[in-house]
Chain A
Amino acid sequence: MYGWIWRNLPGPVVVRALIALALVVALVVVCFLWVFPAVSPFMPFNDTTVD
């Protein structure tokens, strides 16, 4: 999977490494801003209210 991505990135090694880094950063940003906040309310360890 990661090997496939690496082989299909264009350019020399340096360019590939930079693109790969950008992909990783983009993925982390997407997770931090949208995925984790959406998942978090369903986690069972963080409730503060009484019903």
Chain B
Amino acid sequence: MTTTWPAVVNSSAGAAPATAPARRSSHHTARHANPYRSADQAAYATLGVVGELFITVGVALLAFLVWQLWWTDVEGNNRQSHLVNEFQKIAPTPPPNVAVPGEGPPPVMAEPGEAAVTFASIEIPRWNGEPVRPISQGTDRSKVLDPLGIGHYVGTAMPGDVGNFAIAGHRTTFGKPFNRIEELKIGDALVVRTPDTWYVYRVTSFEIVRPSQGNVVAPVPGDPTAEPTQRLITLTTCHPKYSAQQRYIVHGELDYWAPTSSGTPQELLDAKG
């Protein structure tokens, strides 16, 4: 056993010890020893490959963790800040004075027909230090939530509209736009911006639900058949962190809207001041 082992591990180093006994044994036991020896060798070679495969799987799992917990954030944050920059190019920087709230019902943009179109951004003053995040159409993971950040549930209201403007985002990984969702308090501002309009929502409630409770994004949350009268926003993300057992839900209601050409909402000026 000890004589064949080096031959399996490394034939260049083990060549001499492995061949020497073979030569010696060829005098008297060649006929019996050789088949035995090669079967033994094959077994060890197979075991060696199996062992190496196990090690490889282990290393691959570790690499996946590194990718998931670190690299997706690097890539996600880069991509999302790039999207926000692109979005702000078509939507020029508002003047630094306090935005003047608009009169009457807010303007509502049409829902993008195509998936993965970035049509708005969101900024939450409570999350001081977090960048502005883009909002794109659709909640498909591989098309929107992983590469682009926050996604808009198809068919739910658009910003400012009567009904429920429902958006989803990762709480961990992929830039984790909703990482600090638990810090939100009732009354906190959620500032959504389309190219022409600011929509300032205020948090009204939280809930933790099962993933199957789709009615939290209904026009009237919790009551899919009711006719909506309020202009709501709903954020959904996973709960607890690093798990998909439940969903953390934040509901809010529109406080006011303002044209972006009139300035910047007081809430954002306060946060930056």
- Chain A residues within CB distance 8 Å of chain B: 1-3, 7, 28, 31-32, 36-37, 39-41, 43-51
What are the residues of chain A within 8 A of B153 when measuring CB–CB? 49
Residues in B235-273 with C-beta less than 8 Å from chain A: 236-238, 242-244, 247, 249
What are the residues of chain B within 8 A of A46 when measuring CB–CB? 68, 141, 170, 172-173, 238, 244
- Which listed residue (A44, A45, A48) contacts B168, Cβ 8 A? A48
The 5 tightest CB contacts between A and B, nearest first, are A47-B244, A49-B168, A41-B141, A36-B67, A1-B52
Total inter-chain residue pairs, C-beta < 8 Å = 82
B168/A36 in contact, CB under 8 A: no
B214/A50 in contact, CB under 8 A: yes
Judged by a CB distance under 8 angstroms, whether B116 is at the interface is no
Band of interface residues on B = 35 or more
Judged by a CB distance under 8 angstroms, whether B211 is at the interface is yes
What are the residues of chain A within 8 A of B2 when measuring CB–CB? none
With A and B bound together, what is the CA distance between A26 and B169 in angstroms?
Answer: 31
Judged by a CB distance under 8 angstroms, whether B43 is at the interface is no
A49/B139 in contact, CB under 8 A: yes
B216/A50 in contact, CB under 8 A: yes
What are the residues of chain B within 8 A of A41 when measuring CB–CB? 141-142, 146
B238/A50 in contact, CB under 8 A: no
A50/B212 in contact, CB under 8 A: yes
B146/A48 in contact, CB under 8 A: no
Judged by a CB distance under 8 angstroms, whether B132 is at the interface is no
With A and B bound together, what is the CA distance between A7 and B11 in angstroms?
Answer: 9
With A and B bound together, what is the CA distance between A49 and B237 in angstroms?
Answer: 6
- Which listed residue (A2, A36, A51) contacts B211, Cβ 8 A? A51
In the complex, how many angstroms separate the beta carbon of B194 from the nearest chain A beta carbon?
22
What are the residues of chain A within 8 A of B63 when measuring CB–CB? 28, 31-32, 36
Closest to B244 in A: A47
B236/A49 in contact, CB under 8 A: yes
Q: A2-B52, A41-B142 are in contact. Are A50 and B211 (CB under 8 A)?
A: yes
With A and B bound together, what is the CA distance between A45 and B216 in angstroms?
Answer: 21
Closest to B63 in A: A31
16 new A-B contacts, CB < 8 A, other than A49-B247, A51-B212, are A7-B11, A7-B12, A31-B60, A31-B63, A32-B71, A37-B142, A40-B141, A43-B68, A46-B141, A47-B211, A48-B171, A48-B236, A48-B238, A50-B168, A50-B216, A50-B247
A40/B68 in contact, CB under 8 A: yes
What are the residues of chain B within 8 A of A7 when measuring CB–CB? 11-12
What are the residues of chain A within 8 A of B225 when measuring CB–CB? none
Per-residue CB proximity of B140-177 to A under 8 Å, as 1/0?
Answer: 01100110000101000000000000001111110000
Judged by a CB distance under 8 angstroms, whether B98 is at the interface is no
- Which listed residue (B9, B209, B214) contacts A3, Cβ 8 A? B9
With A and B bound together, what is the CA distance between A1 and B8 in angstroms?
Answer: 11
Per-residue CB proximity of B8-34 to A under 8 Å, as 1/0?
Answer: 011110000000000000000000000
B213/A48 in contact, CB under 8 A: no
